[in-house]
Amino acid sequence: AGTYQLREVGPLSGYGALSGHITFTVSSTGNVSLTGNIPAEATLSQEVQEDGSLLYTLGVVNSRLVKVSVWKTDAGYNPLTGAEFSLYKAGDYDDAAGSPNNGATAILTGAVGNNGILSLGTLISGEYRLVETKAPTGYTAIDSAVKITVRNGKVTAFQGTAPSVVSTKTNENASHLVSGQDDGTWQIRVWNSTGYELPSTGGPGTNFIFLL
């Protein structure tokens, strides 16, 4: 009986470390329970043995790290520069309001390079929101966050309701993968449409109309 804490002191190569320590308590009657701030990667199950005793199993799930980048283009797959982005965990972003939650901090902020690429680094399994904070000159900023999902070592993404083109060296979109990136990178295409300048109220055109 007592309270114990399980700590991961060295994550597996290519996998992310636990988000916190796992604390569990064994009662005087032999019952086991998780206590304190329970990391999302921890699970506790029990199984009745043939002799009537209980076997408790503490599961620890490590998430594979995946290299992800953003490729900024126009509608014709031509790379664009000048775009800036912020990346959030999905739980830190309000999809309905179209903005981060109060006090939320971006995982990463940055601008695309001359090849239109911004590296998001290595991400663990989960859902993310990519927000365009600055559009390329002459283009309209995307009106909603790009939804990114990392699961089972693979990456999918949606820009609005349309699936984004995700390229790796080994999938059907490999021809779109920009050279010079680390091996195993999952590249997400994010595109902008051309912006149009609207006439201003009270401009010369309205004066002419009033005269007529």
Average pLDDT of the segment spanning 93-118: 96
* Predicted pLDDT of residue 211: 54
| pLDDT band with cut points at 50, 70 and 90 for residue 208 | very low
**Structure tokens given for 121:** 């680094």
Within 8 A by CB and 6+ apart from 181, the residues are 67, 69, 117, 119, 187
More confident residue, 17 or 28: 28
Output b/e per residue, 45-67; b: 16+ Cβ within 10 A. Answer: eeeeeeeeeeeeeeeeebbbbbb
DSSP H or E segment with residue 29: none
Report the sign of the C-alpha dihedral through residues 166, 171, 174, 179, in that order: positive
Residue predicted with more confidence, 210 or 180? 180
Length of the chain equals 212
Instruction: Identify the residue whose tokens are 């993968």.
Output: 177
- In the chain, which ranges are E strands? 2-6, 22-26, 32-35, 42-48, 54-60, 66-74, 84-89, 93-94, 99-100, 108-111, 117-123, 126-134, 139-140, 146-151, 154-159, 162-163, 166-167, 186-194
pLDDT digits (tens, 9 = 90+) for 122-161: 998 889 999 999 999 999 989 899 999 998 889 999 999 9
Residue range 21-31: average pLDDT?
95
